[in-house]
Amino acid sequence: MSDRAAYLRVAAQLRGNPGQWAAYESRGHCVVLAGPGSGKTKTLTAKMARMLAEDVHEPRGVACITYNNECERELEDRLAALGVEPGGRVFVGTVHSFSLTQIVLPYAKVAGLGLPERFGVATRAEKQESLAEAAARTLDEPGNLQDLDFRLGNYRRSILNRDSVEWRETDPELAELVEAYEEALRQRGLIDFDDMPLFALRALRDNQWLQRALLAKYPVLVIDEYQDLGAALHRMVLGLCFRAGMRLFAVGDVDQSIYGFTGARPDLLRRLSGREDVETVRLRLNYRSGNRIVVASRVALGEERDYEAADAAAQGTVFIHPLGGSYERQAARVVEELLPQVLARHPRLSYRDVAVLYPAAWIGDAVAGAAEAASIPIVRSDGNALYPRSSRIMQWLELCSQWCCGGWRTGKPRFTRLVREGRRLFIEAIHSDAGLLDFHRALITVLWERRDANILLHRWMEELRANVIEPYASECVALRDEIETLATFAARVAPAGDHAEMVLGELSGSGEQLDRLTLSTLHSAKGREFGVVFMFGMDSGRLPRNGVGQQQLAEARRLFYVGFTRAKAEVHLVHTARRSSPFVDEIEQHLADER
């Protein structure tokens, strides 16, 4: 399954770092506490390849759970370079995907989950309809459904035992709303994403034979970004690893926990790493950022850490820019003045090496407008992007478009990767080697005839949807929301849409389009790195927001820290004059003391 020579080469590189080597050599349960830029993905994938080659014998395998689709894709790419392909022995996916494909779909009936034979996963519209129905039934004044949805989600994710006094008495009105909402979903034959880990946890709790079945298949459980994955996964880990007997290898960083609004609990990682039956390893060398950035990041975090730059010669620089006027005026200054100065200082860098990060998508609109006025190509990773970059089906379409725009000639990406990721996307519809061959033929037939970066995207997509996507997606319950995302995007590039002239090369990022300035919310930038980072809109009232409690204030500080530590060479803190964030003020004081 793995290329022994490949992972041994990577292991030789880990040997010089005591923390990475200790993680690689660990034998029992191990938790790796990995600071920013510390090579945690390299360590995790090398360790996983080693366990598959040396510790886990066929046909048994390893399951790897991570936070989101972007993390999943990066892990798959890194593992593929080590000769490890996701498949029968290897699961790589989100906690929702693990819960659905490894527990709920195969075992729902025998585990007594009470789901219909052919249930589906609710689309956004179906969730909204069910919530509106539940609110009308249980609340005198339903109010804002979006706010209700947020509160309902938090309640479901934080109190897992429905039989407990805590569930019934913490917020009786909300508990009743949740139960009515879930009943409305079930009447439609649906579950939603929050249901997936909750059903999986219930199935595991009530059926010890199911724990043994998972142990037989996956004697090792690897978890990436543990601090972001919440209470349901933590409860699964306790049962599967510390009672049923799976071996745990977990990686995370409490300082980078920024998803409290989705149920992330950094305290669970602290609790796990403090167990006597767990070996805890710390990765303290930062291979990404220059030394001044690493030192200043401790100030950004507000807590002392012993992190240091792996390359002492790489200094890094921190700049602070108080700018006047509206965000539109400030964005124009960044794009027209500061960005050219950066590229002049670093001739080897181009737009693709620079990111502008901000607290909210609407602030990014100002930067997008300024970039468009300056004819600078951009790629957005926020709620106002042309399509959600976290979408699995859109990520796959990007790969297919890259193959059609020259990848078929260069091997970047290889067609085998399109087939592999397509199989994972349509896993419920591709049941055999013969089925995979049929999928391969259908895909190559469509793509081979449309290897043209200048073809209208609408035409290319319509052929792919009709001949590949729709025939397979119709059998996949987990893809209903993804298909809705695809339909929304298809409408925007259709002849009557607002991007009707978009060509295939723009989706693929081929040629000149590949050199694009990244615009992203701070949340969406997590896990990424850039030569230069502009943190835009660093104003009091934006980060942190006014009137937040201590818990939200601590998470806002961690969010600032995450953005700060994306940079290799330069960090630019941009704020409205006389309205700077207190986090910026602390950095400014640190720089003054340094001088």
Cβ neighbours, 10 Å, residue 191? 25
Higher pLDDT, 408 or 432: 408
- Please say if the pLDDT value at position 130 is more than 80: yes
pLDDT, residue 2, reads 55
Q: Tell me the pLDDT tens digit for each residue of 439-467.
A: 999 999 999 999 999 999 999 999 999 99
Q: How far is it, in rounded angstroms, from Cα 153 to Cα 130?
A: 14
Is 30 in a helix, a strand, or coil?
A: strand
pLDDT tier at 475, thresholds 50, 70, 90: confident
Closest CA to 10 of 57, 64, 78, 70: 78
pLDDT, residue 1, reads 47
Q: Which structure tokens are listed for 175?
A: 């508990």
pTM passes above 0.85: yes
Cβ neighbours, 10 Å, residue 306? 8
Q: What mean pLDDT is reported for the chain?
A: 93
- Please say if the pLDDT value at position 388 is more than 70: yes
Q: How far is it, in rounded angstroms, from Cα 34 to Cα 20?
A: 9
232 has binding-site annotation: no
Would you list the domain boundaries of the chain? 4-105+199-283, 123-191, 291-377+515-594, 392-508
pLDDT tier at 86, thresholds 50, 70, 90: low
34 has binding-site annotation: yes
347 has binding-site annotation: no
Q: Tell me the pLDDT tens digit for each residue of 47-80.
A: 999 999 999 999 999 999 998 888 888 888 888 8
Q: How far is it, in rounded angstroms, from Cα 331 to Cα 338?
A: 10
Work out the average pLDDT over 11-32: 96
CB 467 within 8 A of CB 446: yes
pLDDT, residue 320, reads 98
Work out the average pLDDT over 580-591: 97
- Whole-angstrom CA distances from 44 to 33, 224, 240, 364, 553 are 12, 8, 20, 33, 31
Q: Which structure tokens are listed for 433?
A: 């080697």
Q: How far is it, in rounded angstroms, from Cα 252 to Cα 34?
A: 6
pLDDT, residue 182, reads 96
CATH class of 4-105+199-283: alpha beta
Is 450 in a helix, a strand, or coil?
A: coil
Q: How far is it, in rounded angstroms, from Cα 194 to Cα 186?
A: 14
Residue located via tokens 């710390």: 282
Work out the average pLDDT over 81-85: 83
39 has binding-site annotation: yes
- Please say if the pLDDT value at position 510 is more than 80: no
Higher pLDDT, 216 or 510: 216
35 has binding-site annotation: yes
- Angle CA 114–472–427, to nearest 5: 60
CATH class of 291-377+515-594: alpha beta
